[in-house]
Chains A and B, each alone.
Chain A
């Protein structure tokens, strides 16, 4: 029984360090290669030694696919390809390929330069690694080798995020990466066709959440910003460089445009600025509105949003500033926060989750006095708001995707075990498909029942369809033919052709049967009686009386001879080829019943 094996090296009942091994029809594919944010030791990268202890990874893996540029999906890539050693192809979409190295470089800088770690990958390694990357377009079918093909679908989430279909022959797996089923201000919703894969590997971050409409949140956000700006206050929005920052920028930009507001908006230079260039470039990956209006104006060429300079923070009057990092733990956002915290007119909006211990977490949990370094006490008078903008599909979204793709099995990754449990139960209940949720290092085996394509010769097909009625949809149909299995291919041809091709002589198989009939009359009279009887019964067949005293029904021959001992008993010899088995056996049984009492 053919099978698909899935082993998560990361992201199995866990968030972070996404790395899933799939072996399908003899091909081994690695999906994503991420790092874990929670660890600083060896655990931050997946354990590649699971794949092979000694020997190069290239021999064991056919390809690596990266779904999007978040570090928990691509962070371990240079380590994997350069330090562990992998030379095979790495597939990702164009925007991912463009943005990924920026983030990797940033990650490297923080770990090596700030934390002073050694034995980490270098800039050169990132460059070398990116050389191995093959970029793919949406819906482009890429032939990795002769049998393995992959295809990318739009996934929303962040710019360039994609879901991948991996297909070998008739078996296929779809890996979603992270995706979003509701569109936001800059990206569309994930979409997949009814590809009916054998297995769907889906993320399940929000397995137990059904979210409210995005509009309320957006409206709230805009209202808060607007009110503060009208009061003359300053708004600080700590963000991470990519993804949410752009969405919020677009949101504010369009709002400013609509409402004709004049207060300046700034975003911190550096990473965000660099990333904005790529957003400008990859317009086709954004949502409907941006795609349609970019001819007049590219939405990412912000009119109201300018680059931030440190000196601006002391400017009087209202302003809005996007600053990195998002959790207020260091850097520019913290500096600005310290400057503005004392004024109750000002406001800080946290657009995302904050890890415990960060300033962001403290102020969100209501702390009003913060102890900064040097025993300094900072009193927070400014307003603190929390707005969650997250781009993962919620439980309904996950179900919707499953409904769209119609998979035969579902496998959950990238989520917490407890939440997965709930979703798993729901999926099994509503779609009646089996659902798996392996932990890291645990292998799940799924048995598939692939259909095997067989080439049929046109002549045979036409002949067979001519016999029966018009081909009926999706109903099995019986046909006669010869299956030739040769050179790894299957062909269905007519028997004659098969014989010819294989150089075999045709053998005839005949069945003969003797039937005894009590009939005192002469032989030819008996024959005549039999003939009349058959003619009466078998109206649809051609029954012939040949001059040599035998009867043929189609190709079945019937001869009568008198019994050598008992002249009153006639022996009917019935002979047919095996093709006519049905008719032949029917005839014998008919004759065995005897002839009707003669009238003639």
Chain B
């Protein structure tokens, strides 16, 4: 084999020599590519000093190498490797070998032997380490081959005794990545040197070099990741490593302990210096807790993070993490939390305003105080007070995860989370609010806690406030005072930050519907009704009053006695709000008024939903009637489209599906209209009109197809193929129209060729889908392909026209879930009559606030468009940080748009809208196809044609009144 390969290299080599000699004389030499390996060889031979050679190698490394010539290059490199005396050059060669064996499509097993051989005579430790690294690359490429792996592991074991840490490091890494995982493989190899990989790695846990120790632990973790079950015996070793002097060792050891605690949670381990025994997971938990007060913050972060995922820990261990026995002058002292709780339960209100309020009471037995507990005591108290915010965030996250799985713990950690609302770093505050929201179904807030929570409502950061509103949406409040307090604070928030209106209303909606019985006694006070006197009717446009009403109406939904307390105007206001803010005000059963028929009766389960059935039936109808007369088809399509559109309006959950199919049918309708025969048969003078119609239709179809492809989330490849097919038809139509209108053949040549290429690429992309497309346009076209390629443009056009007419129209399968991307601009509202005045030539910032739904990757696709009255359009790309993600499928865009214009004589309106940018290169079709099958063909395709970029407007435009004033001089 090797000999054969060598021959090949020399063959390559000789070719190039020929080229050099005869250079331009012979034409046939253009066919042979200049061989990389040969060029390299020449370069290396020319090199006079190691520095020169190194330069050549560095240059060489910058260029990619084709798969075919990799092997040749490797041979050349190896040859030089043996000759080279300078270690740095050998090092570079070794690293190049590794790089080259990474080349896709190249199988490095042929160079493995040589790489192993080079190891034998190598003296330099650095080069050795690099060579082992190369072997690691080779090994990872050949993971399926157990014998190769065994061999490499053996090599690694042999070099484990090397005196350089770098070499030992790499060896351990290699063993970790390639060591046998399955039991069978290990048995079979028992005769050989590679025995128990775990033992070999474990022996290096107390290597003298910290880097090697780290590598050993990492290798062990790597083995675990690859599926090897680690032995429990390692646990005690790992525990010793926790006291290591070096942070990276400790950090890795914490991970290892965590892994073991997950593997053997229930085994029993003894507590040193006593006779007791505890579960391993508890022991590990205690040890990791201890690391939360480590000297290095990297370790602290690591430890705090891992604590969160240790769910099997016994509850008394868990609760210890929040316990820190306070004392002052050796007397037991209660924490502020305990005092607050006691005050609350004793019914006394004011907080400690006296000096010595926190004076310690009982004496403590000095012997019983344990200042450094071996257990988990106070781990979270420390973590949450840490100096670095990274640690604090990790601790909050861990608290969240643990509290989600343990309600009693959730109750206990509440005080601490509430405290975190006052952290100095906003990120931490936000994180703790989110955490609180996540565990909120496990907890009920006490009044004093609620007080602290509500205090944050005045925060100037919008994110914090909104997160808090979200939190209040799903909190349980225990008393009516609590509800009142919350309402008062929210109203305060509303007056301070009027922009929070929507979010506060929504928050009150949930607050009301969750606590109807608590709201009930508050109603007279809130509505300020009086048993004897009529009170003035409140202003209906007051956001605060609306907020109160939202709370009450939502509470009234499940509390039938409440409407009795309403005064007359309340009922009127109800009717008004039910109409104007229907998403916030629920339908109520009011006395003397019959309930307006509810559009959805909740008793019907979705799959027997009649509207869904209706959707499918109407589609069936369309698909079945294929050979009706054109007039009939057109009418049927028109009706169906109308039906579907109405259905979408009525049924919000089917809106996506209905719109999608309606759009598709619309395309089909346009196509049929454009192809009507009589239009094409008219005389030349009338030609222009029908031409306009057909080309407009083609254009519209193209636009619609892009909408279908990019505006809906949940579109699958079976839909994409239909969409692309429709687009192809539109393009064919375009071609036909142009062929009819243009004189001369020259431009047609190019167009035909382009179209054929497109058909070709369609075939490549959707080869798997083609069998489903019998009788379709593309199916017929592909049959005719050989003829098309050879025939003239005029003929092509003719063929296209007939196929287009004859082809049947394809059944569009519907996916499970389909959602149309929508955007709603909340701000600017477009209601203002006061123009935004600014000096011309300067900029004015316009705040834009919009909600986006079902938009994938909004950071990349959503743009803001500003249209000036003079037709000038401006597209603004919002910063990625302007997008928030409040929930799955929902996004929030809060950004500023800078406007500027020359002076106007009077104020005028500009339009602001959101656009969805698309690029057909990133289409779903290309993402779905596995890369290996068509990566080459993609390269062959002309890029320009494939990458059509465009934008789809997907929000209602909002008008903003602006007035650029001329600058004063």
Q: A residues touching B (Cβ–Cβ < 8 Å)?
A: 182-183, 185, 188-189, 191-194, 208-220, 222-223, 226, 254, 257-260, 287-289, 350, 364-366, 383-386, 395-396, 399-400, 403-404, 419, 422, 425-426, 430, 470-474
Any A CB within 8 A of the CB of B353: yes
In the complex formed, the residue of B with least CB distance to A186 is B424
Which residues does chain B contribute within 8 Å of A260, judged by CB atoms? 458, 460, 496
Q: How far is the CA of A399 from the CA of B401 in the complex (A)?
A: 30
Q: How far is the CA of A173 from the CA of B687 in the complex (A)?
A: 102
**Interface members, chain B 305-329 (any A CB < 8 Å):** 324-329
Sampled A-B contacts (6; CB under 8 Å): A213-B385, A213-B419, A215-B419, A385-B353, A396-B371, A430-B371
Which residues does chain B contribute within 8 Å of A419, judged by CB atoms? 329-330
**Interface members, chain B 475-526 (any A CB < 8 Å):** 496
Residues A471 and B371 in contact in the complex (CB < 8 Å), given A404-B295, A425-B366:
no
In the complex formed, the residue of B with least CB distance to A255 is B422
Q: How far is the CA of A567 from the CA of B206 in the complex (A)?
A: 63
Pick the 6 closest A-B CB pairs, nearest first.
Answer: A216-B336, A386-B355, A183-B387, A215-B419, A364-B355, A473-B208
- Verify B293–A209 contact, CB threshold 8 A: no
Pick the contact of B163 from A396, A425, A470 — CB < 8 Å? A470
Q: How far is the CA of A119 from the CA of B510 in the complex (A)?
A: 75
- Verify B372–A403 contact, CB threshold 8 A: yes
Q: How many residues of B contact A (CB 8 A)?
A: 52
Residues A258 and B459 in contact in the complex (CB < 8 Å), given A220-B351, A422-B330:
yes
Which residues does chain A contribute within 8 Å of B381, judged by CB atoms? 213
- Verify A214–B385 contact, CB threshold 8 A: yes
Any A CB within 8 A of the CB of B276: no
How near does chain B come to A82, taking the closest CB pair, in angstroms? 39
Pick the contact of B326 from A185, A211, A257, A471 — CB < 8 Å? A211
Pick the contact of B460 from A191, A223, A259, A399 — CB < 8 Å? A259
Which residues does chain A contribute within 8 Å of B420, judged by CB atoms? 215
- Verify B328–A399 contact, CB threshold 8 A: no
Number of A-B contacts (CB under 8 A): 124
- Verify A400–B208 contact, CB threshold 8 A: no
Which residues does chain A contribute within 8 Å of B357, judged by CB atoms? 386
Which residues does chain A contribute within 8 Å of B207, judged by CB atoms? 473
- Verify B387–A209 contact, CB threshold 8 A: no
How near does chain A come to B320, taking the closest CB pair, in angstroms? 14
Which residues does chain A contribute within 8 Å of B333, judged by CB atoms? 210, 212
In the complex formed, the residue of B with least CB distance to A156 is B387
How near does chain A come to B749, taking the closest CB pair, in angstroms? 61
Which residues does chain B contribute within 8 Å of A364, judged by CB atoms? 355
Any A CB within 8 A of the CB of B461: yes
Q: How far is the CA of A159 from the CA of B325 in the complex (A)?
A: 30
Q: How far is the CA of A48 from the CA of B293 in the complex (A)?
A: 41
Which residues does chain A contribute within 8 Å of B351, judged by CB atoms? 220
How near does chain A come to B279, taking the closest CB pair, in angstroms? 24
Which residues does chain B contribute within 8 Å of A470, judged by CB atoms? 161, 163
- Verify B459–A288 contact, CB threshold 8 A: no
Which residues does chain B contribute within 8 Å of A194, judged by CB atoms? 245, 295
**Interface members, chain B 334-352 (any A CB < 8 Å):** 335-337, 351
Any A CB within 8 A of the CB of B842: no
Which residues does chain A contribute within 8 Å of B337, judged by CB atoms? 216
Q: How far is the CA of A210 from the CA of B423 in the complex (A)?
A: 22
- Verify A258–B327 contact, CB threshold 8 A: no
Any A CB within 8 A of the CB of B389: yes
**Interface members, chain B 369-420 (any A CB < 8 Å):** 369-372, 378, 381, 384-389, 416, 419-420
In the complex formed, the residue of A with least CB distance to B351 is A220
- Verify B366–A422 contact, CB threshold 8 A: yes
Residues A188 and B355 in contact in the complex (CB < 8 Å), given A223-B455, A422-B366:
no
In the complex formed, the residue of B with least CB distance to A395 is B371
In the complex formed, the residue of B with least CB distance to A465 is B163
- Verify A210–B327 contact, CB threshold 8 A: yes
Q: How far is the CA of A406 from the CA of B369 in the complex (A)?
A: 21
**B293, B378, B386, B387: which has the most chain A beta carbons within 10 Å?**
B387
How near does chain B come to A172, taking the closest CB pair, in angstroms? 16
Q: How far is the CA of A191 from the CA of B247 in the complex (A)?
A: 14
- Verify A471–B208 contact, CB threshold 8 A: yes
Which residues does chain B contribute within 8 Å of A259, judged by CB atoms? 458-460
- Verify A209–B422 contact, CB threshold 8 A: no
Residues A185 and B424 in contact in the complex (CB < 8 Å), given A213-B385, A215-B419, A260-B458:
yes
How near does chain B come to A179, taking the closest CB pair, in angstroms? 13
- Verify A208–B387 contact, CB threshold 8 A: no
Q: Is the interface of B mostly helix, strand, loop or mixed?
A: loop
- Verify B366–A287 contact, CB threshold 8 A: no
- Verify A288–B389 contact, CB threshold 8 A: yes
How near does chain A come to B394, taking the closest CB pair, in angstroms? 14
Q: How far is the CA of A334 from the CA of B23 in the complex (A)?
A: 99
How near does chain A come to B209, taking the closest CB pair, in angstroms? 9
19 other A-B residue contacts (CB within 8 Å) besides A260-B460, A289-B424, A364-B355? A185-B424, A192-B295, A210-B324, A210-B328, A213-B381, A214-B385, A215-B385, A215-B423, A216-B337, A216-B419, A219-B452, A254-B424, A259-B459, A288-B389, A289-B389, A289-B425, A384-B353, A422-B366, A470-B161
How near does chain B come to A585, taking the closest CB pair, in angstroms? 33
How near does chain B come to A412, taking the closest CB pair, in angstroms? 14
- Verify A288–B387 contact, CB threshold 8 A: yes
Which residues does chain B contribute within 8 Å of A215, judged by CB atoms? 384-385, 419-420, 422-423
Any A CB within 8 A of the CB of B354: yes
Residues A430 and B425 in contact in the complex (CB < 8 Å), given A209-B327, A210-B327:
no
In the complex formed, the residue of B with least CB distance to A385 is B353
Which residues does chain A contribute within 8 Å of B416, judged by CB atoms? 213
- Verify A212–B329 contact, CB threshold 8 A: no
Which residues does chain B contribute within 8 Å of A185, judged by CB atoms? 424
Which residues does chain A contribute within 8 Å of B325, judged by CB atoms? 210
How near does chain A come to B445, taking the closest CB pair, in angstroms? 16
Q: How far is the CA of A399 from the CA of B386 in the complex (A)?
A: 16
Which residues does chain B contribute within 8 Å of A384, judged by CB atoms? 353, 355
- Verify A188–B387 contact, CB threshold 8 A: yes
Q: How far is the CA of A185 from the CA of B422 in the complex (A)?
A: 11
Residues A209 and B329 in contact in the complex (CB < 8 Å), given A215-B419, A386-B355:
yes
Q: How far is the CA of A385 from the CA of B329 in the complex (A)?
A: 22
Residues A182 and B385 in contact in the complex (CB < 8 Å), given A210-B325, A399-B371:
yes
How near does chain A come to B271, taking the closest CB pair, in angstroms? 15
Which residues does chain A contribute within 8 Å of B336, judged by CB atoms? 212-213, 216-217, 220
Pick the contact of B372 from A188, A213, A399, A425 — CB < 8 Å? A399
Which residues does chain A contribute within 8 Å of B452, judged by CB atoms? 219, 223
Which residues does chain B contribute within 8 Å of A216, judged by CB atoms? 335-337, 419
- Verify B326–A473 contact, CB threshold 8 A: no
Contact with A along B441-475 (1 / 0, CB 8 A): 00000000000100100111100000000000000
Which residues does chain A contribute within 8 Å of B354, judged by CB atoms? 366, 386
Q: How far is the CA of A436 from the CA of B388 in the complex (A)?
A: 34
Pick the contact of B419 from A193, A219, A403 — CB < 8 Å? A219
- Verify A258–B206 contact, CB threshold 8 A: no
Residues A258 and B387 in contact in the complex (CB < 8 Å), given A185-B424, A217-B336:
no
- Verify A222–B295 contact, CB threshold 8 A: no
In the complex formed, the residue of B with least CB distance to A423 is B371
In the complex formed, the residue of B with least CB distance to A386 is B355
Which residues does chain B contribute within 8 Å of A426, judged by CB atoms? 369, 371
Q: How far is the CA of A430 from the CA of B461 in the complex (A)?
A: 47
Q: How far is the CA of A471 from the CA of B207 in the complex (A)?
A: 10
- Verify B460–A287 contact, CB threshold 8 A: no
In the complex formed, the residue of A with least CB distance to B357 is A386
How near does chain B come to A138, taking the closest CB pair, in angstroms? 15
Which residues does chain A contribute within 8 Å of B370, judged by CB atoms? 430
In the complex formed, the residue of A with least CB distance to B497 is A260
In the complex formed, the residue of B with least CB distance to A354 is B355
Which residues does chain A contribute within 8 Å of B208, judged by CB atoms? 471-474
- Verify A383–B353 contact, CB threshold 8 A: yes
Which residues does chain A contribute within 8 Å of B353, judged by CB atoms? 383-385
Contact with A along B83-95 (1 / 0, CB 8 A): 0000000000000
Q: How far is the CA of A79 from the CA of B356 in the complex (A)?
A: 39
